[in-house]
Amino acid sequence: MKKIPLINLFLLSIIIGYLGVNHFKKETAHFKKLTAERIDIVGEDGNKFIVLSNPKDQALATTNGEVTNPTNTERNTPGLIFFNREGDEVGGLVFDKDDEGGYQMLTFDQNKSDQIMVLRKDEYEENGKWFRQYGLEISERSEKPHMQIMKEYNAIRAMKDSVERQKAMDDFWSNPEHLAPKRLFLGRLENLDTGLFLLDKENKLKLSIYVDPDGNPVIQYVDSLGNKKSLIN
C-alpha cells in the first residue's frame, strides 16, 4: 500500500475533525412552516413549561408533576398551557367554540391551586339573539391544595350509598375551603351594564359602579341588612 503524503494526511485529519465537531454541534433549526398536533417546550429534565395543543391532545393540569385530577383523562381544550419548574400548571391561553357558544380566556392560577384571575369573554346565541359578557374576573381561594380538594371530591363521588354520598357532597360544598367565590368583575355584562362589580366571600354582589345601556351612571351598594341602595339614579 502506498504511503499517504504528509500533507494529505494533515488535510484528511482536518476534514475528519470538522465533520466530527459539526456532528455533535447543536445548531438552531429554521422552519418556514411547522404543522403539529401538539408542541411541548420542556427543560433538560423533561419538565413541561409550555404546551401548545389541539383539544384531543391537550396536557392535563398537574401539581408537583402529577395529574391534579386523575379521574379526568381528557381536557378537550385547545390552547397554550403554562407550567412552572415544580411541575404545576400556572395558567393558560384558551380560545374555542362549542355548541353552546364561544369563549376566550387568559388565566392565572394560584400556587398549588386553580385560577384566581381571568381575562375572559363569553358569548352565546339564544332565540336568534347573541349575548356577551367580557372583562376581568378575580376570585378567592383557600390555601388548601387543589389536588387535595379533588382527592376528597372524587372519594365522595365513588361512595356507593346514594344517601351518604349526597350528605357528604353537601358537607363538601359547605366548606369554604372548597369554594372559589368571585370577588371582582370589571367589564361588560350580558345586559350591557359596563363597569365595576364587587362581591363578598359568599359571592354576593355588594357594590356596583357602572354605566347602563342608556348611558346613565349608577352607583349601588348593599347594606348590612341586605337592602340595595343607590347613590346615583
- What pTM was estimated for this model as a whole? 0.82
Q: How confident is the model at residue 59 (pLDDT cuts 50, 70, 90)?
A: very high
For residue 225, what pLDDT is reported?
Answer: 84
Better pLDDT: 101 or 133: 133
Arithmetic mean of pLDDT, 92-102: 88
Asked which of 6-15, 41-50, 85-94, 108-117 is least confident by mean pLDDT, the reply is: 6-15
For residue 3, what pLDDT is reported?
Answer: 53
For residue 28, what pLDDT is reported?
Answer: 75
The whole-chain average pLDDT of the chain stands at 90
The yes-or-no verdict on residue 16 having pLDDT over 50 is: yes
The yes-or-no verdict on residue 2 having pLDDT over 90 is: no
Task: Tell me phi and psi for residue 194, to 5 degrees.
Answer: -130, 120
Per-residue cell: 196: 365595576
% of the chain surpassing 90 pLDDT: 74
For residue 224, what pLDDT is reported?
Answer: 83
Q: Please name the residues in contact with 25: beta carbons below 8 A apart, sequence gap of 6 or more.
A: none
The yes-or-no verdict on residue 172 having pLDDT over 60 is: yes
The yes-or-no verdict on residue 1 having pLDDT over 50 is: no
| 203-231 residue pLDDT tens | 999 999 999 999 999 999 998 888 888 88
Per-residue cell: 26: 447543536
| 139-171 residue pLDDT tens | 999 999 999 999 999 999 999 999 999 999 999
Amino acid found at 14: I
Spatial distance between the Cα atoms of 164 and 162, rounded to a whole number of angstroms: 6
Spatial distance between the Cα atoms of 186 and 134, rounded to a whole number of angstroms: 8
The yes-or-no verdict on residue 21 having pLDDT over 60 is: no
Q: Report domain extents, the chain.
A: 6-180
